Structure 1
Amino acid sequence: MSLTDFQTNIFNQEYIELFEKADIKTVESILLQSPLRLQQKTSLSLEIIQKIQRDLQKYHCAVPSVATDLYNKAVSLKEYRYLKTNCCIDDILGGEGLPTGELTELIGTSPSGKTQFALFIAMQVSRFYQENVIYIDTSSSFSADRIAEMYKQQIGETTTIDSNQSILAILDRIRRYNCLDPIKLVDTLEAISNSFEFDNYLKNVKLIIIDSIGTLLYTSFGGKLTHGHYVMMKIARLLKSLAHKNQIAVLITNNTVKMDSDVLDHLKNVQSTPENRLQKASLGESWAAVSNHHLYLYGDFYDDETIERSIALRSSTRYQRIEKPFSINSFGIQ
């Protein structure tokens, strides 16, 4: 990788050009040489060189940290340990809500309601916590109109000047990113990560939503190509780092694929499992280990056009399996 790939606010383009003119073209060359030696080659002050080396170590090296420092930082950032969603997800996740510092994955087929959950939760966090939300839209499914509709139904008011101002305030705290290819998503997450400490909007972000990771990655790579796997795990590392370092909640939606044939045969022989339960999250076993909590959305469709929906916690690092009914209407999620 070139030096430009590690450009930061401290290690800026001016300094990069000075190092390249001195025939220092890799980060390893900067980190392995003494500050005095680098000063002789670049004419930069020792203070600046030491700042650059410390800055590059954050992104390039595994620098050991004292556990006490990590704990104190986590405590200082945990203004909210959980984000209440005011819907069935709170009951599913121990009655507490989305845990900050962790990844929660919402999994279901195309008409199961994943985007409705994402929009509803974005609105709830913006409205009740008055904190910022990043909504990464990979399929052009974000709808400000739907958020406004849910808000109006919840407050039970017709359109007034006050309600319109409240809606605008809620939407103003939600920043939507349109990412239609995996590389753009990587670039977006890296830009967010690098700017978190300096950007006033990002400092107040408490929730990141990606809707939908399955649509983006599965259609691009099919989960089989080596390059696709690398990009997928790069995205996973960025999300986990953002969640942990900044103590924010991350909500990801994902599609489903059929279970492997041997698993299907076993389930059909051992128990009578409904067809819509014979699904697993897309993107394979590597991605399955990324999220802390996996919530599955199910829908039973009947001839009279009624739908019985439920949400189930199938795996979690903390909570026991549980299933709850829910419905989708103009109010949002109930």
Structure 2
Amino acid sequence: MLKKDGVTIYHIAKEANVSPATVSRVLTGSANVREPAKSRVLKLIDKYNFKPNVMAQSLYLKQSKMLGIILPDIDHPFYSMLAKELERQALEKGYTCLLCNSMQNFAIEQSYLDNLISRQVDGIVFLGGRINQTNPTDELRDGMINALKHVPIVLVNGKMDGADAHIIRTDEANGMRRLLDLLGHHGHRKIGLIGGEIGVSSTDEKIEVFKQVMKQKGWTYKDEWIVNSGYSIQGGEQDALSLLHLDEKPTAVMCINDFVAIGAIKMFQKFGLKIPNDMSVTGFDDTYLAEHFPPGVTSVNHNYQLLAKKTIETLIGLIAQEEQERETVIPTFVTVRNSCEERQS
């Protein structure tokens, strides 16, 4: 009888009277293996407590069963929440993930792209960074175009002109419209928008939709009510302070993300304003912070589970050289909490 630690894929194949390729397909969960061959292989795998040599199997299948995930800032809850869901979805499909945090540095981002390709990952999920630049440099664009020659890449909530990549994005524009409808329902007509960075596509789109809808509804906004000091809590505090110094202030403030909303709420409260009685505030991304920061922040949810599921399914489909939709839009929804209240006339 064979010792358990001496069993190989070839031993399993010989004893089950199947080819080594059939054993590999059983191990990877392929639906192409029919009964009773599949049962014979599974019984022998269980009998010998067989653990395949991952390196040998990847050479045989010409797949590493590994995916790369490149993101700009793991400290940001949007990216950490999405990365967790992406990893969960990948594991269910038999893939492990290499998580690469570029720390908002384009050189590090490019280094990770090159490194993942050299490690022969089967595919890459790309978040933030260069794909959120409204006008990326030729160098950034060429780096992405070159990477796509070597490995399938799915871009999440971003794009890059000239790069033939598949895109999965959430409907952030509709999320903005829903927030404005909600504030309008509460009687707000004087609304500000704070946070973000001009030249970053997610900020630029939100500002464009905000202005468009406000004009359509005939509501009031002033240029000085749109201020952009970044994506941090400190940026939210700074932008809120800018509004507080104005003679005429909005009655509600939409924030580019939940960090900015938290900073804004802190600053408004520091100056004696009650949230939501004196000022209504909304966030964006619906992270765990929005739920737990008092009084609870109304925020747009990216539908994280569906977003991750569709991203991984699309990437694995590309790895299998199957036709996939070029661009998929995931619906967003608003989670209503206590940071918004009806405006008293």
TM over 0.5: no
Q: Which has the higher strand share?
A: 1
Structure with the greater relative contact order (CA < 8 A, sep ≥ 6): 1 or 2? 1
Report the TM-score, using the length of structure 2 for normalisation: 0.30
- Highest Rg: 1 or 2? 2
